Amino acid sequence: MLKKKAKYVFLVWSISTRRSETLAKSLKAKIVFFNNERKNILSQFFRYFLLTIKTLKVLKMEKADFVFVQNPPIYSLFPVFLYAMWYRKKYVIDSHTITFLVERIHHHFFILMHRFFSKFAFTVLIHNEDLSYIGKNWRTPFFILEDRIPQFQISLRKKEKGQKFNLVVICSFSPDEPIAEILQAAQKLEKVQFYLTGDFKKVKSDLRNSYPSNITFTGFLEEEKYVQLLRDADAIMALTTRPYTLLCGAYEAVAVERPLITSSLPLLKRHFHQGTIHVENTPEGIEDGIRRSLSSLENLRRKISELRVEKEREWKRRFESFQKVLYDQIG
């Protein structure tokens, strides 16, 4: 007797995230976004309350067999937990790296909540093997599923002779990104044009008012323009000081087959082991890495193309294993 086809719903308390969108599409799951724009603490409290009610309404209407929920924010797990307990359904938590780390004092409370909800989850999806070491005492089932290489469709433009070396720096101006160090390195690389993505409003005021002329802050770009910017780049940089992190920007560099410059952290070195230059998060280290990329562009391009094939093959293998785990639970 054939098993019934399970119904999946993917919930995201955010405007959009590439990982969630890609994963939902691969699962053939309906994805539902909830605007979680932050204002002040008081309004945020009421917003979480309203989002909880809205989420429960969506879940009741969809009657999903499996609910996937992105974490963060941690509060999005509460309505999913209630739904799963009441209707005897299963849920999967897609936990991003930050949800395992304690960077501020209130993160200790978030970790306790994370552990509690994870105990009742069917499984917790994590992005890399290092995160399972952090949660080894949780007594929670983990499944490692790396980000999938994005499937971009934008065409490549022919670069005119004499143009500067274009370096796209993928960033969101979060505390783990060495933005000041990048701007310092740019001062010594006049022949390199830097394009820093992300919301310009988040740039610190002292940096916003004083930066080299070869720096362009692109601001938030629509998808098509953003991907075209990546396609037109000679190389792409994505840096972090945060351990256990596999950067979304690194996967985007692989997707458009552009040489990657990223931080010299053990996890990043293992996962992006070719077509990539790893640098220290210092002005000198960043400058040196860019100069090295300039001197070996063709070789880096060839190697990053090979890495793309390798990562796509490995992701498909892991995803098929995950699908089998889900299928085995269908009644």
Q: Residues 79-86: what's their mean pLDDT?
A: 96
Q: Give the number of other CB atoms < 10 A from CB of residue 21.
A: 15
Rounded distance, CA 16 to CA 34, Å?
A: 9
Give pLDDT tens digits for 287-326: 999 999 999 999 999 999 999 999 999 999 999 999 999 9
Kindly give the interhelix angle for 41-62 and 77-87, rounded to the nearest 10 degrees: 30
For position 1, what pLDDT does the model report? 36
Q: What is the DSSP string of 101-159?
A: --SSTTHHHHHHHHHHHHHHSSEEEESSHHHHHHTTTS---EEE-PPPPP---PPPPPP
pTM: predicted TM-score of the whole model, two decimal places: 0.89
More confident position, 138 or 287: 287
Say if residues 9 and 64 touch (Cβ distance below 8 Å).
yes
Q: Residues 143-147: what's their mean pLDDT?
A: 95
pLDDT band at 137 (very low <50, low <70, confident <90, very high): confident
Whole-number percent of the chain with pLDDT over 70 = 93
Q: Residues 91-113: what's their mean pLDDT?
A: 92
CATH superfamily of 8-145: Glycogen Phosphorylase B; (3.40.50.2000)
Q: Is the pLDDT of residue 238 over 50?
A: yes
CA angle at 319 for the pair 110 and 156, rounded to the nearest 5°? 95
Fold agreement (8-145, 165-310): yes
For position 133, what pLDDT does the model report? 82
Span between the terminal Cα atoms of the chain, in Å: 11
pLDDT band at 237 (very low <50, low <70, confident <90, very high): very high
Q: Residues 79-100: what's their mean pLDDT?
A: 95
pLDDT band at 2 (very low <50, low <70, confident <90, very high): very low
DSSP annotation of 3: P
Q: Is the pLDDT of residue 76 over 50?
A: yes
Q: Which two three-digit tokens encode residue 18?
A: 């590439």
- At the topology level, CATH places domain 165-310 in Rossmann fold (3.40.50)
pLDDT band at 157 (very low <50, low <70, confident <90, very high): low
Domain ranges of the chain: 8-145, 165-310
More confident position, 317 or 211: 317
pLDDT band at 261 (very low <50, low <70, confident <90, very high): very high
Q: Residues 204-217: what's their mean pLDDT?
A: 84
Q: Residues 186-201: what's their mean pLDDT?
A: 93
Q: Is the pLDDT of residue 256 over 90?
A: yes
Give the rounded distance of the alpha carbon of 39 from its chain centre: 23
Q: Residues 47-60: what's their mean pLDDT?
A: 94
For position 211, what pLDDT does the model report? 86
Rounded distance, CA 226 to CA 221, Å?
A: 5
For position 3, what pLDDT does the model report? 53
Q: Residues 224-245: what's their mean pLDDT?
A: 94
CA dihedral 306, 312, 313, 317 (to 10 degrees): 160
Half-sphere exposure of 127 (CA within 13 A, CB side): 24
CA angle at 223 for the pair 221 and 227, rounded to the nearest 5°? 95
For position 308, what pLDDT does the model report? 97
